[in-house]
Amino acid sequence: MKTINLLTKSVLLLSILLITYSCDKNEEDELTQESIQEIGISEEEWTGEIANPSSKNLISSVSGSNFRRFYLDVNFDRFADLVAIKTRSTGTRSTEIHVLDGKSGFTKFIIQTGTALHETGSNFDFLVGLTPRGGLTMYAIKKSNTGSRSTEVHVISGRNGYNRFFRQSVTPLPETNRSYSFRLVGGLDQYLHHIQVFRSGVKSGLLDARTSYRTFF
């Protein structure tokens, strides 16, 4: 009888452990999916699946050295869309946002718009993300040749139609060079993401969205 009771307890404990692991794994998967939905992954870093481009795709129209490209599910249809930031030689004489619909095989545009930001050069880095109230948001990080002599963050959001700046901030970083890179962190604000700073590939600070990037987190 004691042996049976011990066996029963062992089976019960094993069941609890399996259920706990399953819940943790599901939560981990959900967090991973959320991070992909909310943060644009640069074309160079993208490792996920994308829809097979149609033979009539428009990818070539957003290709070239004057484009920065990211994958992000902009319209929440579970397909990665192609977000292309056109930095110069634009028809609007501004930095432009072009989004190709992944579900269509990249044959149609979801968004094509000029922005409040002038045409830009190699001293700008770009990030894109989605927030609950801001929609598609472009982060233009001016690293050098700034009026403030510091690295600046210029934010343009779908909330105001991309034709006005949502934020323009001076950061605590000095002007930066190619050894610095940046990455969005989560959807931690209704309108903005935090920005992780890397120097030579090593984390060196987190710019705080709550202070419009004027301080480190």
User: 182-209, pLDDT tens digit by residue?
Assistant: 999 975 567 899 999 999 999 999 999 9
pLDDT band at 31 (very low <50, low <70, confident <90, very high): very low
Whose CA is closest to 163, among 128, 131, 117, 209? 117
Question: Of all helices (H) and strands (E), which one includes residue 13?
Answer: helix 2-38
Residue 160 confidence (pLDDT)? 85
Residue 131 confidence (pLDDT)? 83
User: Using an 8 Å Cβ cutoff, are 88 and 120 in contact?
Assistant: yes
58-65 long-range contacts, CB within 8 A, separation 24+: 58/100, 58/106, 58/107, 58/108, 58/109, 59/100, 59/106, 61/98, 62/86, 62/98, 62/100
Rounded to an integer, what distance in angstroms lies between the CA atom of residue 28 and that of residue 92? Answer: 43
Helix (H, G, I), strand (E, B) or coil at 187: coil
> Is pLDDT above 70 for 22?
no
CA 169 to chain centroid: 19
Rounded to an integer, what distance in angstroms lies between the CA atom of residue 178 and that of residue 36? Answer: 25
Residue 189 confidence (pLDDT)? 67
| Dihedral Cα 106, 111, 116, 121, nearest 10 deg | 0
Question: Of all helices (H) and strands (E), which one includes residue 32?
Answer: helix 2-38
Whose CA is closest to 84, among 116, 40, 53? 40
Q: pLDDT tens digits, residue range 90-149? A: 999 999 999 999 999 999 999 999 999 999 999 999 999 998 777 899 999 999 999 999
Residue 127 confidence (pLDDT)? 97
Amino acid at 74: V
Number of H helices, E strands in the chain: 1, 12
Q: Which residues contact 182 (CB under 8 A, 6 or more apart)?
A: 125, 127, 139, 141, 195, 196, 197, 198
Q: Which residues contact 97 (CB under 8 A, 6 or more apart)?
A: 83, 84, 85, 86, 111, 112, 113, 115, 136, 138, 162
What pTM was computed for the model? Answer: 0.81
